């Protein structure tokens, strides 16, 4: 290999962050990579150049306008701005060359680069183990799964929400401009590059902690060519729950390195965490279609490479992560369970509450470009569900900061209305009782339960009888409550509410209690309890 080619590899090689070592006692420890002085300083220049380059179109445009107003000719403006660009590129190339030379004289970096090239040339268990001793830029991490390589994947039909349309051409154009300029960043602040840059040390620390717990990092490529950063912690041979895989779907500023992954992990489940497109090291942007393709790729990876059948997968969505979780649930209906924590039914009411004076344009932007209707997707899935509501939630409330305004109430209500329509006949008043129950504090809920004289065994018996009519496999909408009196309908409504939804007395961002994380209640189980 020529000297120039070797220097090129060192110049453009990935940044190295951590080195993992196994002690004599078998414990995994991490050490920070210590670059030499020239590499450290050249890295700072390159990172600064990259940051400035991201805003250079705006800076150059502003400078050109300013110079034009100062009576500079077009040729002069082009000449001076060209000089600035040329000077910046000289500084960049010099920094790259200095970094390459410094790295070439660093034994640790040279050993890492050899491990990376060995795996790229001959991917196998041995070379992967060597590569996993390092934490480095994800852009250089080898691709280990591509959904497009699966036989029949391109022809597989996927369920999606119906696309909304507008009759006004002007409103369509305006909503498009807003959606593809700043709306995405407001809905998914975790995709803002500055936030990702600022959180890098925290994300690195979180990832190191997961690796120490047995986590293995993977790069997955979606059907639209986005690269998704994932981590898998395999507990199949360690714990009773390890045979079940929990796939986590984070919130709008959540990352697997610091997010909800810890709760199912501490419960003993195997866990697969991933970052939204545009979050952390994942590429792309979290528009709905890219989000759907990402979670679809995750499911395929879990099934075909990690070898977890659908019936042993729990989808766990927190906050806005409920969108990808319910999308996956309606496309993979045989999953073990769906857990939705601190999420909402539809993003539109929350968006309108944030900007009430722009209700019309907000509605167009949401419905045409960010139609995150979680309830609609949930109601296209008939499997086991657990909803977790935060009683002091300050984020998913409309009106704000009151229990009655928690959008989780509407998510549950829409679920019950679709699955058990006969409980909500016009004369039953069940909907009024349900709203009152969901708006009450813990003492108020107990009083309602006592007033209605709810008998759990009697309710389970009615549900079991309905299941047996359907050959022990309940289908929705079901006929439960069709021949019941008004009081029995109300009793069943509140009983089902307590089975489908659990409360955590906390704010939106408080980690979920390990005790509350469970697969949820399956109505078919009522037969065995009869």
Tens digits of per-residue pLDDT, 157-188? 888 888 777 767 788 899 999 999 889 999 99
Given a cut of 60, is residue 1 above it in pLDDT?
no
pLDDT per residue over 279-290, tens digit each?
Answer: 999 999 999 999
With a cut of 90, say whether residue 524 has pLDDT above it.
Answer: no
Q: What percent of the chain has pLDDT over 70?
A: 96
DSSP letters, 461-474, are HHHHHHHHHTTT--
pLDDT of residue 468: 75
User: Residue 508 catalytic?
Assistant: no
The chain-wide mean pLDDT, for the chain, equals 92
The active-site residue out of 393, 398, 428, 430 is 393
Query: Is residue 2 very low, low, confident or very high in pLDDT (cuts 50, 70, 90)?
Result: low
pLDDT of residue 191: 94
The answer to whether 153 and 241 have CB atoms below 8 angstroms apart is: no
Answer with the residue of higher pLDDT: 467 or 276: 276
Structure tokens at 313: 């997968």
CA torsion through residues 335, 341, 344, 345, sign = positive
Answer yes or no: pTM beyond 0.85: yes
For residue 322, give the H/E element and its range: helix 322-331
Catalytic (active site) residue 393: yes
pLDDT greater than 90 at residue 8: no
Give the per-residue pLDDT at 517: 97
The per-residue pLDDT for 22 is 87
Judged against a pLDDT cut of 80, whether residue 363 lies above it is answered with yes
Which of 71-80, 270-279, 462-471 ranks highest by mean pLDDT?
270-279
Residue 471 clears pLDDT 60, i.e. is over it: no
pLDDT the model gives residue 530:
53
Catalytic residue among 71, 426, 471, 528: 471
In angstroms, rounded to a whole number, what is the distance separating the alpha carbons of residues 200 and 197? 5
CB atoms within 10 A of CB 132: 15
CA distance 454 to 445: 12
Res 473: pLDDT: 66
Name the one residue in this structure whose structure tokens are 């009697």. 458
Token pair of 496, please?
A: 């089902």
Place 396 in a pLDDT band, splitting at 50, 70 and 90: very high
Res. 354: pLDDT tops 80: yes
Q: Which of 42, 262, 282, 319 is catalytic?
A: 319
Q: Is 471 among the residues known to form the active site? A: yes
CA dist 354 and 344 (Å) reads 15
CB 523 within 8 A of CB 463: yes
According to the model, what pLDDT value does residue 467 have? 78
Q: Output 504-510 pairs: Cβ under 8 A, ≥24 positions apart.
A: 504/388, 504/389, 504/390, 504/391, 505/390, 505/391, 505/392, 506/390, 506/391, 506/392, 507/390, 507/392, 507/393, 507/394, 508/319, 508/342, 508/390, 508/393, 508/394, 508/395, 508/396, 509/395, 510/390
The answer to whether residue 116 scores a pLDDT higher than 90 is: yes
**Pairwise pLDDT comparison (154 vs 440), residue with the higher score:** 440
What average pLDDT does the segment 272-282 reach? 97
Residue 56, pLDDT score? 80
Q: What percent of the chain has pLDDT over 90?
A: 74
Per-residue pLDDT averaged across 397-414, rounded?
92
**Dist CA 464 CA 526 (whole Å):** 5
Count of H helices and E strands in the chain?
A: 20, 12
pLDDT of residue 236: 96
Q: What sections of 260-321 are H helices per DSSP?
A: 262-266, 288-304
Confidence (pLDDT) at 141: 93
Can you read off the two tokens belonging to residue 20? Answer: 């993992």
Average pLDDT of span 11-29: 90
- Other CB atoms within 10 Å distance of the CB of residue 380: 15
What integer pLDDT is reported at residue 472 of this predicted model?
59
Q: For residue 228, what pLDDT is reported?
A: 98
* Under 8 Å between Cβ of 412 and 501: yes
DSSP 272: E
């Amino acid at each position: 290999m020529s000297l120039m080619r070797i220097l090129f590899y060192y110049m453009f090689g990935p940044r190295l962050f951590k080195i993992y070592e196994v002690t004599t006692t078998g414990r995994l420890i991490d050490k920070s990579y210590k670059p030499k002085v020239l590499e450290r300083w050249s890295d700072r220049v390159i990172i600064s150049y990259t940051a400035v380059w991201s805003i250079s179109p705006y800076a150059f445009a502003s400078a050109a306008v300013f110079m034009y107003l100062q009576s500079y000719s077009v040729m002069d403006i082009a000449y001076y701005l060209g000089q600035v660009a040329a000077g910046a590129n000289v500084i960049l190339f010099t920094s790259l060359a200095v970094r390459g030379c410094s790295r070439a004289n660093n034994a640790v970096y040279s050993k890492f680069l050899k491990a990376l090239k060995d795996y790229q040339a001959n991917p196998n268990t041995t070379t992967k183990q060597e590569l996993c001793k390092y934490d480095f830029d994800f852009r250089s991490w080898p691709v280990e799964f591509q959904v497009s390589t699966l036989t029949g994947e391109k022809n597989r039909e996927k369920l999606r929400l119906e696309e909304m349309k507008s009759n006004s051409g002007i409103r369509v154009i305006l909503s498009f401009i807003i959606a593809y300029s700043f709306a995405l960043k407001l809905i998914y602040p975790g995709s803002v590059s500055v936030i990702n840059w600022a959180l890098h040390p925290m994300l690195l620390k979180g990832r190191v902690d997961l690796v120490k717990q047995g986590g293995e990092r993977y790069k997955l490529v979606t059907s639209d060519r986005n690269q998704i950063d994932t981590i898998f912690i395999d507990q199949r041979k360690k714990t009773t729950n390890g045979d079940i895989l929990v796939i986590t779907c984070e919130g709008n500023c959540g990352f697997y390195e610091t997010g909800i992954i810890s709760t199912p992990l501490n419960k003993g489940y195997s866990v697969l965490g991933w970052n939204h497109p545009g979050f952390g090291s994942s590429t792309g942007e979290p528009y709905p279609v890219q989000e759907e393709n990402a979670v679809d790729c995750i499911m395929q990876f879990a099934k075909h490479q990690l070898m977890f059948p659908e019936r042993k997968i729990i989808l766990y969505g927190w906050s806005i992560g409920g969108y990808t979780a319910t999308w996956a649930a309606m496309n993979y209906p045989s999953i073990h369970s769906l857990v939705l924590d601190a999420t909402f039914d539809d993003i539109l009411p929350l968006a309108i509450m944030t900007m009430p004076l722009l209700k019309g344009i907000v509605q167009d932007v949401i419905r045409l470009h960010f139609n995150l209707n979680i309830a609609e997707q949930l109601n296209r899935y008939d499997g086991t569900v657990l909803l977790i509501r935060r009683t002091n939630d300050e984020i998913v409330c409309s009106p704000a900061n009151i229990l009655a305004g928690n959008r989780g109430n509407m998510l549950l209500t829409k679920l019950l209305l679709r699955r058990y329509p006969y409980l909500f006949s016009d004369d039953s008043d069940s909907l009024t009782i349900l709203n009152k129950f969901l708006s009450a504090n813990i003492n108020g809920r107990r009083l309602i339960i006592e007033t209605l004289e709810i008998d759990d065994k009697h309710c389970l018996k009615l549900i079991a009888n309905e299941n047996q009519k359907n050959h022990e496999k309940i289908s929705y909408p079901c006929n439960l409550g069709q021949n019941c009196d008004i009081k029995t309908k109300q009793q069943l409504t509140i009983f089902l509410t307590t089975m489908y939804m659990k409360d955590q007395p906390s704010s939106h961002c408080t980690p979920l209690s390990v005790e509350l994380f469970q697969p949820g209640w399956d109505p078919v189980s009522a037969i065995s309890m009869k």
